[in-house]
Amino acid sequence: MARKKIIAGNWKMNMTPSEAVELVNTLKPLVATDEADVVFCVPAIDIIPAMEAAKGTNIEIGAENMYFEEKGAFTGEISPNMLTDAGVKYVIIGHSERREYFAETDETVNKKVLKAFEHNLTPIICCGESLTQREQGITIDWIRQQIKIAFLNVTAAQAATAVVAYEPIWAIGTGKTATTEQAQEVCKAIRECIGEIYDEATAEAIRIQYGGSVNAATAPELFSQPDIDGGLVGGAALKPDFGKIVNYK
Ligand code: PGA
């Protein structure tokens, strides 16, 4: 069975609740499609108003982060139950900005991934290499390590429903998109790694996105690659251009 594309916006720390409603209202006619799953991952405080604004559309509202404990003395954190109670189905885990500025590691990513599955949330698991790692020729080794740790103790049935976002750090917010060949090469390596950990069927089922300066011009070629099942889009997800990215064909 062909994998359905999944195109997700990552709003990062942008948009107040009222701006979020405005943006959902602007984008909803532009992103209407049955061909791809469309997800807006928004700041926690925007989830409920965005969810209201997206009612009756094909837009799913997702979260940008989540903690790996159920509840308790973790000031400032958001629990899985808070997300599911608000109607959230997708959550970004381990974005490179979380790793860089908020000390997330492959180990905490794994804990969050396991917790997300426990609550029937679909994790969008981020991985990616730095420019130094790419220049040293260790990209694939690095990504394989990130994937192996992220999926520790995840069952095949769970893994088959996961989304992985390959986001080279040097391509995020820089306007420097990876070439189609670079993106396809790594997404293929991720699928092979999943095949080694689990089996062929799981590798075929899992959806792998590319992220890093995706725009309306680069999306069509990227998303037509055999191992790229859509994108995780930052800057361009806040603009009407996101409609063109979703309807890239
Ligand atoms: P960008 O961000 O599209 O602005 O490069 C992508 C991301 O960080 O998910």
| The predicted structure's pLDDT at residue 176 | 86
Residue of minimum CA distance from atom 6 in ligand 1:
234
| The predicted structure's pLDDT at residue 215 | 96
CA 168 from chain centre, in angstroms, equals: 13
pLDDT higher than 80, residue 243: yes
Q: Contact 68/45 with Cβ under 8 angstroms?
A: no
- Contact 125 CB / ligand 1 (< 6 Å): no
Place 1 in a pLDDT band, splitting at 50, 70 and 90.
Answer: low
Q: Is 167 designated active site? A: yes
Q: How far apart are CA 123 and CA 206, in angstroms?
A: 11
**pTM (two decimals):** 0.98
- Contact 46 CB / ligand 1 (< 6 Å): no
| The predicted structure's pLDDT at residue 177 | 86
Concatenated DSSP letters of the chain = -PPPEEEEEE--S---HHHHHHHHHHHTTTS--SSEEEEEEE-GGGHHHHHHHHTTSSEEEEES---SSSSSS-TT---HHHHHHTT--EEEE--HHHHHHS---HHHHHHHHHHHHHTT-EEEEEE---HHHHHTT-HHHHHHHHHHHHTTT--HHHHHH-EEEE--GGGTTSS-PPPHHHHHHHHHHHHHHHHHHS-HHHHHHSEEEEESS--TTTHHHHHTSTT--EEEESGGGGSTHHHHHHT--
Residue of minimum CA distance from atom 1 in ligand 1:
234
Q: Is 95 designated active site? A: yes
Q: How far apart are CA 61 and CA 48, in angstroms?
A: 9
Interval between CA 236 and ligand 1 midpoint (Å): 8
Mean pLDDT across the chain? 97
Identified catalytic residue from 60, 64, 95, 97: 95
pLDDT higher than 90, residue 2: no
Place 175 in a pLDDT band, splitting at 50, 70 and 90.
Answer: confident
- Contact 232 CB / ligand 1 (< 6 Å): yes
| The predicted structure's pLDDT at residue 180 | 97
- Contact 172 CB / ligand 1 (< 6 Å): yes
pLDDT higher than 70, residue 221: yes
pLDDT higher than 70, residue 77: yes
The residue-averaged pLDDT of 43-59 equals 98
